[in-house]
């Protein structure tokens, strides 16, 4: 018989300790430790094959860890699976709704699989239709539901039983930018209005920016964690100077040459579309040098500015 003692309102929704998973000789997740505060959006960021889904499946109790342990909402995943299951929701990487059922019928179906019946089921379906902006689409068949609304529907299905913690595995992969934004607005609503905790995996940097807390996973290991601002402040060594020249390739050539001749003090000079990012220890000195080099080379430019690094800059610097 499962021990179902209610933990006294732990401040963390997720606690993991040295969670690991081996498939044969291959280590897919290597001793991962992190905590997720209640009522926050926690982003689990990493490239394909990094170990995101494997970690999530262990947290959900769908995959047995090779080592380490995890607690959700204070309950031990390995020893209190029933208590955990009632309180969490999951939107998998390949969620599918039934194409031949309407939105409402889909929700009824998923609601019943959670054990919801009668008045409670009707009430939760109404909540979900409203929350997920599906009012007016109740009778639309699954197959006719436009791209972004399929995601709304999938999220709705994952929260029908009113979970305190939800897991979303790349919920917006392949979705257009406008729909991605509206999906994230739903997530904010859930966190702010309902106090839900969200654990979400993504490889979109703009989505990572929206999380309160992030962990970067690479090759099964967590290489950095913290808030987006903390990560930018602690992981980047040096300042990023952004330069917008009229002729970026020519400016690149001049700056690289100047660096080789030691007329430019910079750790890195890289082209970012129409801009150039220069990483420097003494930003003021380097800014003066950049201006001198470009003036001498007759390239016009806007004044070089120190910017906050992007999460992409930070992620690349963390795995370097």
Ligand X SMILES: Nc1ncnc2c1ncn2[C@@H]1O[C@H](COP(=O)(O)OP(=O)(O)O)[C@@H](O)[C@H]1O
Rule CB under 6 A: which residues touch ligand X? 23, 26, 28, 46, 48-54
Name residues contacting Mg ion, limited to 41-60 (CB under 5 A): 52-53
CB closer to Mg ion, 170 vs 313: 170
Q: Which residue is nearest to Mg ion (CB)?
A: 53
CB closer to ligand X, 211 vs 294: 211
Q: How far is the CB of 233 from ligand X (least distance, A)?
A: 26
- Alpha carbon 59 to its chain centroid, in Å, reads 16
Taking CB within 5 to 8 Å according to partner kind, which of ligand X, Mg ion, none is near residue 16? Answer: none
**CA atoms of 136 and 122, how far apart (whole Å):** 16
CB closer to Mg ion, 92 vs 310: 92
Q: How far is the CB of 25 from ligand X (least distance, A)?
A: 10
- Residue 276 near residue 290 (C-beta atoms within 8 A): no
- Residue 271 near residue 257 (C-beta atoms within 8 A): no
Closest CA to 101 of 150, 147, 148, 158: 150
CB closer to Mg ion, 29 vs 186: 29
Q: How far is the CB of 58 from Mg ion (least distance, A)?
A: 13
Q: How far is the CB of 60 from Mg ion (least distance, A)?
A: 13
Question: Going residue by residue from 171 to 210, which x/- string records binding to Mg ion, judged by CB under 5 A?
Answer: ----------------------------------------
CB closer to ligand X, 50 vs 280: 50
Please report where in the chains the tokens 């060594």 appear, as a residue. Answer: 237
Taking CB within 5 to 8 Å according to partner kind, which of ligand X, Mg ion, none is near residue 54? Answer: ligand X
Structure tokens at 46: 């990493």
Buried b vs exposed e over 234-243: b needs ≥16 C-beta within 10 Å? ebbebbbbbb
Q: How far is the CB of 73 from ligand X (least distance, A)?
A: 23
Closest CA to 191 of 78, 294, 43, 62: 43
Handedness of CA 97, 168, 162, 72 (dihedral sign): positive
Q: Which residues contact 174 (CB under 8 A, 6 or more apart)?
A: none
Q: How far is the CB of 263 from ligand X (least distance, A)?
A: 44
Q: Which residues bind Mg ion (CB under 5 A)?
A: 52-53
């Amino acid at each position: 018989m499962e021990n179902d003692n209610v933990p006294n309102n732990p401040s963390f929704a997720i606690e993991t300790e040295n969670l690991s998973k081996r498939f044969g000789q291959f280590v897919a997740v290597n001793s991962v430790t992190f905590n997720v505060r209640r009522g926050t959006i926690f982003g689990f960021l990493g490239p394909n094959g990094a170990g995101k889904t494997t970690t999530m499946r262990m947290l959900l109790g769908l995959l047995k860890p090779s080592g380490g342990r995890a607690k959700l909402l204070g309950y031990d995943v390995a020893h209190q699976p029933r208590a955990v299951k009632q309180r969490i929701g999951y939107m998998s990487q390949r969620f599918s709704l039934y194409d031949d059922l309407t939105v409402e019928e889909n929700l009824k179906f998923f609601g019943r699989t959670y054990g919801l019946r009668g008045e409670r089921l009707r009430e939760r379906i109404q909540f979900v239709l409203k929350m997920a902006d599906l009012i007016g689409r109740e009778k639309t068949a699954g197959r006719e539901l436009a791209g972004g609304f399929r995601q709304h529907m999938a999220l709705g299905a994952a929260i029908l039983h009113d979970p305190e913690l939800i897991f979303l595995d790349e919920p917006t992969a392949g979705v257009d930018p406008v729909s991605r934004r509206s999906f994230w607005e739903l997530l904010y609503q859930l966190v702010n209005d309902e106090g839900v905790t969200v654990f979400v995996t993504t490889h979109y940097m703009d989505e990572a920016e929206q999380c309160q807390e992030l962990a970067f996973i690479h090759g099964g290991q967590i290489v950095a964690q913290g808030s987006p601002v903390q990560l930018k402040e602690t992981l980047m060594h040096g300042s990023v100077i952004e330069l917008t020249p009229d002729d970026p390739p020519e400016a690149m050539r001049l700056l690289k040459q100047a660096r080789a001749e030691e007329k430019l003090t910079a750790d890195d000079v890289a082209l970012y579309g129409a801009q150039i990012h220069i990483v420097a220890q003494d930003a003021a000195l380097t800014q003066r040098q950049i201006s001198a080099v470009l003036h001498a080379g007759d390239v016009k430019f806007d004044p070089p500015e120190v910017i906050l690094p992007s999460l992409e800059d930070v992620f690349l610097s963390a795995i370097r």
